[in-house]
Chain A
Amino acid sequence: MHITINGKVYDAKPEQMVIEVARENGIYIPSLCYHPKIGKAGKCRVCVVEVEGIGGLQTSCTTQVSEGMKVVTNSENILEAQRMVVNLMLANGRHDCIKCEQNGDCELQDAAYYLGIENPPYQFGIIEPQIDDSAEMIQVDRSKCIECGRCVAACNNTVVNEVLEFGNRGFDTKIIFDNDLLMGESSCVQCGECVQICPVGALIDKRAIGKGRTWELDKVETVCPYCGVGCKLELHIDRKTDEIVRITGVEDSPTNEGMLCVKGRYGFDFVKSDERLTTPLIKENGKLREASWDEAITLVASKFNGIKKKFGSDAIAGLASAKVTNEENFVFQKLIRREVGTNNIDHCARL
């Protein structure tokens, strides 16, 4: 299937939305509520385009492609409408980029930049910060919220924790936790999916505040060390101190599709902890001393062999872990069954 965007022909798949084809081909359409993971949204009304044969403006995130469709994304009519919608968002809130954690990684900032908006001509008045600091890992600032609904969709449909919802109506609409509780008092498990999907700086990782903006941080992809799922992580590392500032999930990872649990996202203290073990320790005369891996493994093997000889194989049992991969568990049961020679093998089956 082919569609035309701004006079150029592009390949498209029949089930795709116009915005998806545009993004695949590097055409920027400002959008705030659309995210590939939550699908059709149609709420922010910023991604409007003109489609030949259909009157008025259409939201490109809800318009499905059809053969020969002709789309324009940059006429003055479109830009004017987009400008006014973005202006209205800017008019209501403290969208002050200077000290914002999201600076440089903010989709509202991108839209305003693209549309050439400097200062919104209209203001709903002076808006005070509305910070909810009650939660362990996440800070909420409703004065930066644009009510796009991404976090609500992510919480309810992606991670299915069903904590976030919209409260009130109209101009008073705001995101709420459970029955309008503070985040820290709600049933939120701090998975941080809402933080990752928030297009602005309304939901941010609390511990990353003041520790550097996006362009000051190196991004390193790795796999989560906690459990056997194998979620793909992106570490945001302060280039100067080599410290992890925050962790996000990698969106195109087939394992976790960007989702993480509270441990994977926020449990990175151990990396540079003074208490972290970096070498094996052997206890001699009641005191621990550092040892090499070869020495430690040889010692353990000789001890096991000793037990096996004296008491028989069934005196030994193995407890496997959910934290390691299936392959590692397979190897472990081979070790217990074949080398030790017992069927005493079990699994903790929990994190």
Chain B
Amino acid sequence: MRQNSKAFNRHGIITLKNVGKINPESIEDFIAHDGYIAFEKALFDMNEDEVIDEVKDSGLRGRGGAGFPTGLKWSFTAPLKVKDKFIICNADEGEPGTCKDRLIMEGDPHKLIEGILIAGYAVRANKGYIYIRGEYYLSIERLGKAIKDAYKHGYLGQKILETNFSFDLEIKVGGGAYVCGEETSLIESLEGKRGLPRFKPPFPGIAGLWQKPSVVNNVETLCNIPDIISKGGEWFRSFGTKKSTGTKIFMILGNVKNPGIIELPQGVTLRELIYEHGGGMEDDKELKCTLVGGAAGCFVGPDLLDIPMTIESLSEHGAALGSGSILVLKEGTNLIALMKNLMHFFKHESCGQCTPCRYGTEKLYRLICKISDDIARNKPDVNDLNEMLETAKMMQKTSLCALGQSPLMPLESAMKYCVIDEFKKRVIK
């Protein structure tokens, strides 16, 4: 990250509000900035169902990429009469180009704890886990201290703030496998097994960790909760669009003048993100396209510059928002090389459990390598591209989890936008 980044220095609205402003290692500082007020409000002034209703009312959708309504997810788990229920915070941020959760955990760890506490109270859970990727040393350290301080101040533990609500929170450090960001493999890994996805149903909300009901939420999602409770769902809805309420953290990366992380109300367009918040194209070059949502994301070209960057409007155009990372690529970028990089990523991260992904990701990588070599020799074969597309389509249809279903999206969109042109240009030459 560049030090002179303007976007990086700007403060956020909800999730990034305190980041850079408060001392992340001081619970007193967090409390002085209205910390734990929302949790106390939920605990003393609201019953469990009112909390869920408020979250439903806010229209908050999961920020991990899938965009499932958070209140609805909680409402599956809340009524289950089971002794042990879990809140699992997915902090295994593995999507390439995504580092929003890290910024929150390093800059405002108590907000995450507060969000987890409110979620725990709402679904009547008594134990929480933060599954955090092993490379996030500073996040692990700061969250660890924050949890200790929260125990000392009576926000965690038995009979919190002298009520009947008890909640324990623990950090689990992951091994850095991309597939463990998938909720069921995350749970397998939490149980101490190989991180292999389970087949659904049952969904974790019904039978998750140790086959007990478990709510799995992303860091950014949970960090929206305190403000929704303290200021209300209606206030939250005042940001963003009708279907995508609130704010979203975007990571503007690549060939822009000011790359960085920024929290903006939902509905912002790609043009605004690149030319306003990102400061425009690097060296004032033309925009070729962007890769939105990381490796499992989608190429979005200049033709979609003016549509809102929300889940629903992007999906109308066959694209997806994913985690909110936006890799900006200037004219002249070698997309075949980029595709090669992406395909290597999938092949490297495939867990190997199901056939289409285990063999398919390898096949895709070998084909893109062949295409790349053939282009260098000016002899590309269009059948290889079609073969890649067919394979990725089959993988999308038959793979067990989202990893094997993912390569189609970047591949298809890349072909739609640019790879084909690039490919054809080389053929003609």
Contact = CB atoms under 8 A, between A and B. Distances in A.
A59 interface: yes
B398 A48 contact: yes
Nearest to A45: B398
B355 A45 contact: yes
B75 to A, nearest CB: 23
Interface string B372-390: 0000000000000001001
A323 B397 CA distance: 53
A43 B355 contact: yes
Contacts of A91: 359, 363
B363 A122 contact: yes
B199 A84 contact: no
- Grouping DSSP codes into helix (H, G, I), strand (E, B) and loop, the A interface class, with mixed when no group exceeds half, is loop
Interface string B347-362: 1111111111011111
Nearest to B352: A173
Given A84-B390, A84-B394, A124-B366, A40 B199 contact: yes
A298 interface: no
A261 to B, nearest CB: 28
Contacts of A88: 355-356, 359-360, 363
A43 B391 CA distance: 18
Given A40-B199, A42-B400, A45-B399, A169 B355 contact: no
B133 to A, nearest CB: 16
A85 B398 contact: yes
Given A45-B400, A59-B199, A92-B359, A81 B394 contact: yes
B21 interface: no
Nearest to B348: A170
Interface in A117-173: 122, 124, 146-147, 149, 166, 168-173
B362 A43 contact: no
Contact of B194 (A45, A80, A166, A172): A166
A220 interface: no
Contacts of A62: 199
A124 B367 CA distance: 10
Interface string B394-405: 100111100000
**Range class of the A interface residue count:** 20 to 34
A29 interface: no
A263 B68 CA distance: 55
Given A124-B366, A170-B361, A56 B349 contact: no
Contacts of B354: 42-45
B199 A147 contact: no
Interface string B3-31: 00000000000000000000000000000
Contacts of A84: 356, 390-391, 394, 398
A170 B358 CA distance: 5
Contacts of B351: 169-170
Interface in A22-48: 40, 42-46, 48
Contact of A44 (B350, B355, B363): B355
B350 A170 contact: yes
A172 B351 CA distance: 10
Interface in A48-102: 48, 56-57, 59, 62, 80-81, 84-85, 88-89, 91-92
A85 B349 contact: no
B349 A170 contact: yes
Contact of A173 (B199, B358, B394): B358
Given A88-B363, A124-B363, A171 B352 contact: yes
A172 B362 CA distance: 10
A171 B347 contact: yes
Contacts of A56: 397
A104 B39 CA distance: 66
Contact of B353 (A43, A57, A122, A124): A43
A346 B199 CA distance: 52
A81 B398 contact: yes
Contacts of B362: 92, 124, 170-171
Contacts of A40: 199
Nearest to A57: B397
B47 to A, nearest CB: 35
B70 to A, nearest CB: 23
B359 A171 contact: yes
Contacts of B391: 84
Name, among A44, A91, A169, the residue most crowded by chain B CB atoms within 10 Å (CB to CB).
A169
A122 B398 CA distance: 18
Interface of B: 177, 194, 199, 347-356, 358-363, 366, 387, 390-391, 394, 397-400
Given A56-B397, A88-B355, A173-B353, 20 more contacts: A40-B199, A42-B354, A43-B354, A45-B354, A57-B398, A62-B199, A81-B394, A84-B356, A84-B394, A85-B355, A85-B394, A88-B359, A92-B362, A149-B353, A168-B352, A169-B351, A169-B352, A171-B350, A171-B361, A173-B352
19 contacts: A42-B199, A42-B354, A42-B400, A43-B353, A45-B398, A48-B398, A80-B394, A81-B397, A81-B398, A84-B394, A84-B398, A85-B398, A91-B363, A92-B359, A122-B363, A124-B366, A166-B194, A170-B347, A173-B358
